[in-house]
Structure 1
């Protein structure tokens, strides 16, 4: 029995190790995407990719599932809103009128000028912003891999490029969509820690790696020790798996819309929310995230 268990744990480890991650884990001295860019041509390539995705059947399902995630349980974030009447996670009232504008934060997009997968993911982000009626200026993006040319492209598109590595530690103070495609577990764990309260979590909608998928690919005791916030969130979040065509398996696989209904959060004991400790990751040699530099 113990031999079988050991083999199963090795299989899970290999499965997790085989998954490619981009996001905030490239070496600090990486020369990725440092070649000069033609901003106009790069933007045209991105818009062509948007047009391609818009014609795909799975795009409609992504859009619909995002809207469904925001329209269910309209009272979910009423206590967090200043607008009159209950609103959903997309900041809409029951009759569909916008009461509070949704924000968006995107981490770990990668080198979209040279990486096809990253370009598709950027194109999908732009489509989702349009579908959610989120102004481009209200979408903040960051990846330490961005070259100066890619930053120019993003700003020309109208997006807000962050200049500081937040390590995912951004608190949602209003309904916020977090777009985290194929990011490392530490980034998700940091984000959950920063929002670890029954007030902040319901304000978040995450489009990114399935938490259940992370759980399945990681040895349980290590998952609970190193990524305790994801580990706890697995039992109380609501996931909707997003479809992925076989030809784009490296781009959109294992992606879900993740929300945090109040009814589920209330299942956890009150002690869960008391002074949550900041993650330290002492036992994670392969952290899958670039941490910001600190002055000694």
Structure 2
């Protein structure tokens, strides 16, 4: 409070109790979870993965998932047909507004781009998926349901999990280990949404800020690029109405 001097208080006994409590919660007597990650705390990681599985099972029996999968499947099928019928071409960039601040762009992994001769859309296995901002699913139930929904959508759309790139600056070491154990590809560089679209891509951006959407659209502001993208996220209409 204003006018009150800062004081340094040290309590070895209290600190030891807090460390022991953390070690008990993660199910180990060794190092804490942020030092060792999932490999040394399999009990804790097992519980998190179980909660994710439970969230998936709960979603599959919900009315929300019933209507959600029908809507996504319908949009996805039309999207595939549209790409198959439309030849690939580029138009001169017309970019409204201010250009976002420039940062080094993450280079796409070559294994995520179809090999020569495979064709643009031989199967759904050639689609990519990018997930931004799912959050701390180990401690936040909302984030856990968002991750569970992502996994269900990948299964429904028959998109291989390794073709789904996931990034959130909040991910802890053990959350990264869990995502990798689930088969997802974790991205460690912050693209700030400036992901260059080379192949048909689904962007899963639930509750992301408008700046992230702006950067994604700016980076791919051409008919050729935008015709290859599906965005599952916030309503652009509501963003327009709000601002």
- TM-score per shorter chain, which class? 0.5 to 0.7
Aligned alpha-carbon RMSD (Å): 2.3
Match of 1:58 in 2: 64
Q: Within 5 A, what are the aligned runs for 1:256-275?
A: none
Secondary structure of 2:223's partner?
A: coil
Q: Within 5 A, what are the aligned runs for 1:180-191?
A: 180-191=205-216
Match of 1:47 in 2: 53
| Residues 206, 233 of structure 2: 8 Å contact kept | yes
Secondary structure of 1:48's partner?
A: helix
Given the alignment of the two structures, is residue 192 of structure 1 paired with residue 199 of structure 2, yes or no? no
Given the alignment of the two structures, is residue 79 of structure 1 paired with residue 87 of structure 2, yes or no? yes
| Residues 83, 100 of structure 1: 8 Å contact kept | no
Query: Which structure carries more helix by proportion?
Result: 2
| Residues 165, 187 of structure 2: 8 Å contact kept | yes
Q: List runs of 5+ in structure 2 lacking aligned partners.
A: 1-32, 89-113
Distance 2:124 2:148 in 1: 27
Secondary structure of 1:105's partner?
A: strand
Match of 1:204 among 226, 229, 232: 229
Distance 1:139 1:100 in 2: 11
CA shift, 1:67, in A, is 1.4
Given the alignment of the two structures, is residue 158 of structure 1 paired with residue 176 of structure 2, yes or no? no
Per-residue Cα deviation, 1:94-149 (whole angstroms, up to 9, x for no partner): xxxx2661110000111111111100000000000000101111100000000111
Distance 2:205 2:34 in 1: 23
Distance 2:74 2:55 in 1: 25
Moved runs in structure 1, 4+ residues, more than 6 A? 81-84
TM-score by length of 2: 0.67
Match of 2:73 in 1: 67
Match of 1:8 in 2: none
User: Quick check: which has more Rg, 1 or 2?
Assistant: 2
Count of residues in Structure 1 that have an aligned counterpart in Structure 2: 176
Distance 1:185 1:99 in 2: 29
TM-score by length of 1: 0.55
